[in-house]
Amino acid sequence: MKQFNPPAGGPKGAPGMGMMPPRKMNIGVLKRLLKMLFGFYPVLLPVSIVCIIFCAVTSAIPAIFLEKVINAITYALDNGVAWEVAKQDIVPRVLLLIGFYVVSIIAVTLETQMMAGITQGFLGKMRKALFAKMQNLPIKYFDTNKHGDIMSRYTNDIDTLRQLIGQSIPTLIRASVIVISVFFIMLYYSLYLTLILILGVVLMVAVTKFFGGNSARFFMAMQKAVGKGEGFVQEMMSGQKVVKVFCHEEASQKDFDEINNELFEVGYRANACANMLGPIIMNIGNVLYTVIAMAGCLLLVVGIPNPGIQSLFVGLAAIDAGIIVSFLSMAKQFTGNINQVSQQINSVVMAMAGAERVFTLMDTEPEVDDGYVTLVDAEILPDGSIRETDHHTGVWAWKHPHSDGTVTYVQLRGDVRMTDVDFAYEEGKPVLHDVSVFAEPGQKVAFVGATGAGKTTITNLINRFYDIADGKIRYDGVNINKIKKSDLRRSLGIVLQETNLFTGTVLDNIRYGKLDATDEECIEAAKLAGAHDFITRLPEGYQTELTNNGANLSQGQRQLISIARAAVADPPVMILDEATSSIDTRTEAIVQKGMDALMKGRTVFVIAHRLSTVRNSDVIMVLDHGRIIERGNHEKLIAEKGQYYQLYKGVFELE
């Protein structure tokens, strides 16, 4: 891999590799995140915060005890007071401080346990909400977004919230409380020394704003670059065979290097700024510590009156050694906690970038479903009317409620009609033009044509994966826009060219078509599809575990299981989109018998390039650039000697 050298001069300059300039952190995302946190844990989270605040205050008060003890010891030494007398003033304060620390240990133990539960619980709820949202997204979202980038939101982006909730938020609360508490304690003791500290803090804030701001913008860009990289890797993994067949390894490596270098550059800039911030803040704190020590000693030697809040109660007096020592301790604590706050900026920014990407997916418009016609079990009465039942009778009906309160039932027969349909995936780029298709119950309708002619698009519209731009699609006389999508799709079976098998047994994958199907029903469906013989020869038969999309099976075997999955659903309408294209000629002969049985009595839409698959169809429609240019059965189209004839003649010559 070509080595990438960091830009000269460190983090200066604009982002490289054609990246858009990184944006600032979105405060609205943080507000939304906190609102969700409190919504999920309205009791546990406030209790945890109270424990954090108590521990922070406890860690701020030792300076007060230190000042009192030092002054008591100094007074005893200067005035010859015996230890027996002095300890009556010292020991109670030490014991009280020990008591505070014991309670603090209990509080911090409770807080860490509760925050661990809150953190993991919140991440679990976020993933659950994200997955639930994903189920309601339209197919278009998955067609237009890289799957690796979507996966990155579940893993990388949500994991950034773990650091934020489990560490950054408690640290920020604890550090903020300590800083505020220590500031007022210091102001109580000495106004002059506090003013010196404030000047140092102003410098710290300026440095934090400069380096932290740059770091924040580049961390947000880095989060997006990670998603882009994961999307590319996912593509390469799924297409590894294609890469090797076409000897595309070097070109893929070059593309990955560019993406990886892009990620390197923004990551380098982000971490360069972030890594500089901590040491600079720490050394400013060290300088400030030295300046305060020198100023305190000067005030002590010169005897200048020391104004502070305490002077309002005990009168104006010179500074003493106890105040200086405790003040130095508080100054170190003050700057140390400011440094801790600055160190959390990176985690906060990365979490905000991750949360923004998660919320972007969660805010994506869901799939619109305004249908109200549902699919119900029914029975046909002797007079021909239809009545809804609470058990399956083998008859399905569309339940159509009307605005006047009446309900009508239409038997599900599988009559599908498209009339004058126009459609475009992108506005201004039509894919279908004035398409009309009429499929009567039990008919087999085949679509043939060149790649991109619009065959699969028609079946996508029947499933309502996409909605038409113009025209009508009616199912048993009901406009499919009025049918609930879940019920519409439940009445349709589909076998795709690309098989998708899930982790689980062969039986589980067949049952995916009908979750309440019995083992016997699944086995009968496998027999119908012609898959039973090869399944019984597997090591564990129907209980054989499938992983990685059924990688331990051949392409034809995977397709047979996919066909069996559609068969067990027993839908009245079947869509076969190149269902036998991945099956060899011998296997096709085996499965064709099962396919014929599967299609018997159903309305079937077939998309195929093999004319042997479509020649026995009732109607064959030839598409060209989104238009139906020929329609009829095999004999009619051959007699017309049009495009179908030319296609058939070409295939015949090849054979």
Q: Could you tell me the pLDDT band of residue 580, with boundaries at 50, 70 and 90?
A: low
The pLDDT score that the predictor gives to residue 47 is 92
Is 34's pLDDT higher than 70? yes
Q: Going by DSSP bridges, is the β-strand pair 386-388/627-632 parallel, antiparallel, or unpaired?
A: unpaired
Question: Mean pLDDT across the stretch 261-285?
Answer: 78
Distance, in Å, from the CA atom of 586 to the CA atom of 606, rounded to the nearest integer, reads 20
The pLDDT score that the predictor gives to residue 484 is 93
Distance, in Å, from the CA atom of 403 to the CA atom of 406, rounded to the nearest integer, reads 7
Is 299's pLDDT higher than 80? yes
| Helix boundaries (H) for 483-584 | 485-490, 506-511, 519-529, 532-536, 555-569
The pLDDT score that the predictor gives to residue 629 is 92
The pLDDT score that the predictor gives to residue 437 is 92
| pLDDT > 90 fraction of the chain, expressed in percent and rounded | 16
Contacts of 418 (CB under 8 A, 6+ apart): 435, 436, 437, 438, 458, 461, 462, 471, 472, 473
Q: In what order do the strands lie in the sheet with 478-479?
A: 429-439, 416-426, 470-475, 478-479
User: To which residue do tokens 């922070």 refer?
Assistant: 56
Most confident residue range from 16-20, 84-88, 206-210: 206-210
Is 77's pLDDT higher than 90? no
Q: Could you tell me the pLDDT band of residue 427, with boundaries at 50, 70 and 90?
A: confident
Is 652's pLDDT higher than 60? no
Distance, in Å, from the CA atom of 259 to the CA atom of 268, rounded to the nearest integer, reads 14
Question: In CATH terms, are 27-362 and 416-654 the same topology?
Answer: no
| pLDDT > 70 fraction of the chain, expressed in percent and rounded | 85
Distance, in Å, from the CA atom of 460 to the CA atom of 489, rounded to the nearest integer, reads 11
Is 18's pLDDT higher than 70? no
Which of 492 and 654 is assigned the larger pLDDT?
Answer: 492
Q: Map out the domains of the chain as residue ranges.
A: 27-362, 374-411, 416-654
Contacts of 15 (CB under 8 A, 6+ apart): 21, 22, 218, 221, 265, 266, 269
Specify whether the CB–CB gap between 461 and 134 falls below 8 A.
no
Q: Give the type of residue at 471.
A: G
Task: Please provide the distance, in angstroms rounded to a whole number, between the alpha carbons at the two ends of the chain.
Answer: 47
Distance of CA 93 to the CA centre of its chain: 54
Q: Please state the CATH superfamily assignment of the domain spanning residues 416-654 in this structure.
A: P-loop containing nucleotide triphosphate hydrolases (3.40.50.300)
Contacts of 469 (CB under 8 A, 6+ apart): 422, 423, 424, 430
Question: Mean pLDDT across the stretch 277-306?
Answer: 82
Question: Mean pLDDT across the stretch 9-15?
Answer: 38
Distance, in Å, from the CA atom of 213 to the CA atom of 216, rounded to the nearest integer, reads 5
Q: Give the type of residue at 615.
A: R
Question: Mean pLDDT across the stretch 299-317?
Answer: 77
User: To which residue do tokens 């309305």 refer?
Assistant: 603
Contacts of 460 (CB under 8 A, 6+ apart): 139, 466
The pLDDT score that the predictor gives to residue 384 is 84
Q: Could you tell me the pLDDT band of residue 213, with boundaries at 50, 70 and 90?
A: low
Distance, in Å, from the CA atom of 324 to the CA atom of 298, rounded to the nearest integer, reads 11
Contacts of 266 (CB under 8 A, 6+ apart): 15, 19, 22, 218, 221, 222, 225
What SS3 state is found at 540?
Answer: coil
The pLDDT score that the predictor gives to residue 397 is 92
The pLDDT score that the predictor gives to residue 78 is 64
The pLDDT score that the predictor gives to residue 420 is 93
- Greatest alpha-carbon pair distance for the chain in Å reads 127
Q: What region does 416 belong to: left with phi over 0, alpha with psi -120 to 50, or beta?
A: beta
Is 469's pLDDT higher than 80? yes
Q: Could you tell me the pLDDT band of residue 593, with boundaries at 50, 70 and 90?
A: low
Q: Could you tell me the pLDDT band of residue 260, with boundaries at 50, 70 and 90?
A: confident
Long-range contacts of 275-279 (CB under 8 A, 24+ apart): 276/211, 277/207, 277/208, 277/211, 277/212, 277/215, 277/342, 277/343, 277/345, 278/339, 278/342, 278/343
The pLDDT score that the predictor gives to residue 488 is 92
Contacts of 369 (CB under 8 A, 6+ apart): 484, 485, 486
Contacts of 410 (CB under 8 A, 6+ apart): 386, 397, 398, 400, 476, 477, 478
Mean pLDDT over each residue of the chain, to the nearest integer:
81
Nearest to residue 583, comparing CAs of 459, 492, 499, 475? Answer: 499
Most confident residue range from 115-124, 286-295, 298-307: 115-124
Distance, in Å, from the CA atom of 602 to the CA atom of 413, rounded to the nearest integer, reads 8
The first and second tokens of residue 206, run together, are 């300026």
Most confident residue range from 151-160, 321-330, 459-468: 459-468
- How confident is the model over 368-411, as pLDDT tens digits? 888 999 999 889 888 888 899 988 787 889 999 998 889 999 99
Q: Could you tell me the pLDDT band of residue 3, with boundaries at 50, 70 and 90?
A: very low
Residue 13, φ and ψ in degrees, nearest 5: 105, 170
Distance, in Å, from the CA atom of 517 to the CA atom of 193, rounded to the nearest integer, reads 79
Distance, in Å, from the CA atom of 333 to the CA atom of 339, rounded to the nearest integer, reads 10
Specify whether the CB–CB gap between 410 and 477 falls below 8 A.
yes
Is 560's pLDDT higher than 90? no
Is 498's pLDDT higher than 80? no
Give exposure, 484-519, as e/b (b: 16+ Cβ within 10 Å): bbebbbebbbbbbbebebeeeebbbbbbbbbeebee
Specify whether the CB–CB gap between 267 and 222 falls below 8 A.
yes
Strand-pair partners of 373:
483
The pLDDT score that the predictor gives to residue 610 is 67
- Report the C-alpha dihedral over residues 29, 34, 36, 40, rounded to 10 degrees: 160
Whats the size of the chain, residue-wise?
655
Question: Mean pLDDT across the stretch 266-273?
Answer: 75
Contacts of 200 (CB under 8 A, 6+ apart): 284, 285, 287, 288, 291, 335
Q: Going by DSSP bridges, is the β-strand pair 416-426/573-577 parallel, antiparallel, or unpaired?
A: unpaired
Distance, in Å, from the CA atom of 490 to the CA atom of 231, rounded to the nearest integer, reads 32
Is 202's pLDDT higher than 50? yes
| Helix boundaries (H) for 530-582 | 532-536, 555-569
Please state whether the predicted TM-score (pTM) of the whole model is above 0.85: no
Is 321's pLDDT higher than 80? no
Is 190's pLDDT higher than 80? yes
Q: What is the CATH number of domain 27-362?
A: 1.20.1560.10
Give exposure, 241-253, as e/b (b: 16+ Cβ within 10 Å): eebeeeeeeeebe
Is 212's pLDDT higher than 70? no
The first and second tokens of residue 293, run together, are 């020590």
- How confident is the model over 111-127, as pLDDT tens digits? 889 999 999 999 999 99
Question: Mean pLDDT across the stretch 412-438?
Answer: 90
Q: Could you tell me the pLDDT band of residue 80, with boundaries at 50, 70 and 90?
A: low
